[in-house]
Amino acid sequence: MANELAEIDDATAAPSPEPDPDDVEWIEPEGCPKCGMEVRTMRTNYDRWVNLSTAPVRAKEVPRRYRWRLVTLPARHSVHPVALIAVRVSGLEPMPDDMVIPAHTPECEHPAAKAKVEEAWRADRACQAWLPPTVVEFKDYEDKEETLTCRSSHGYAAGMDPSQEPTGRLSDEEFRQFLSMLRRYLCHDLDQWELLVTQSEYGPLYAVFANKLPEGWPEDMFRPF
């Protein structure tokens, strides 16, 4: 499964060399084997390697397939970070001006890389046709003011305050709407997986969405909807 994800994400770079602790020779910056441009080779969260750009850019300037972020990993039973890994941005869409770390492919001058990027942009444009508008404008008739609410492509309002959300159990109608929207999200917006966490009065609650069964999980443990 990791190899399949690596092919999709273009995370097929060779691992970074690990110099000997006693080696004092100068280590040159890594370069793209196809165009020679300087890159940053990072381990991914599924133990493969990807060439990333050395500078972040705005999300709207990069095809979805090539958006990454860097995550620090703490030592076991510790809060001190000991490693940095690359995680592809997927599931919840970043705002257009949010900063991401692009893969090297969009800036590579090799013809094969340019063809991949053009294919990725075409896929994004095709996907965009199925998404709701990114900006919703409405009037607040009580305050007699016009309010502009920016929304991500999945409809999550910027600056959403969970404390202002309705509380209590879902009604039957709300639950049907929830299942309908969840099915729509899984079918049209989920890329490979999404790991979510939220806080409740009883502690953190976790949700895992994936397009493949994790290894060792029997299919009959899932309830269809």
pLDDT at residue 94 in the model: 84
Predicted confidence at residue 128, as pLDDT, reads 64
Strand 99-102 and strand 57-58: pairing?
antiparallel
Coil/strand/helix, residue 155: coil
Q: What is the pLDDT of residues 73-93, one digit of tens each?
A: 888 787 787 888 999 887 777
Q: What is the pLDDT of residues 194-217, one digit of tens each?
A: 888 888 878 888 888 888 877 777
Please give the pLDDT value at position 115.
Answer: 92
Please report, as a single letter, which amino acid is at residue 186.
L
| pLDDT score recorded for residue 161 | 55
6 or 165, higher pLDDT: 6
Rounded to whole angstroms, how far apart are CA atoms 104 and 52? Answer: 5
Give the three-class secondary structure for 104.
Answer: coil
Mean pLDDT of 37-66: 90
What does the alpha-carbon distance between residue 200 and residue 211 come to, in Å, rounded to a whole number?
27
Alpha carbon separation from 186 to 67, 156, 173, 189, 225 (Å, rounded): 20, 16, 20, 6, 12
Beta strands at 135-140 and 67-74: parallel, antiparallel or unpaired: unpaired
Q: Tokens at residue 189, please?
A: 């917006």
> Both tokens of residue 25?
């020779």
What average pLDDT does the structure give for the chain? 77
CB 34 within 8 A of CB 108: yes
Q: What is the per-residue pLDDT across 145-190, written as a single tens digit (0 to 9) for each?
A: 333 333 333 444 444 455 556 677 888 888 888 888 888 888 888 8
168 or 43, which is more confident? 43
Q: Look up residue 126 and give its two tokens.
A: 């095709």
Chain segment 136-154, per-residue pLDDT in tens: 333 333 343 333 333 333 4
Place of tokens 């949010």: 98
User: 19 falls in which pLDDT band (50, 70, 90)?
Assistant: confident
Of 9-13, 14-18, 156-160, the one with minimum mean pLDDT is 156-160
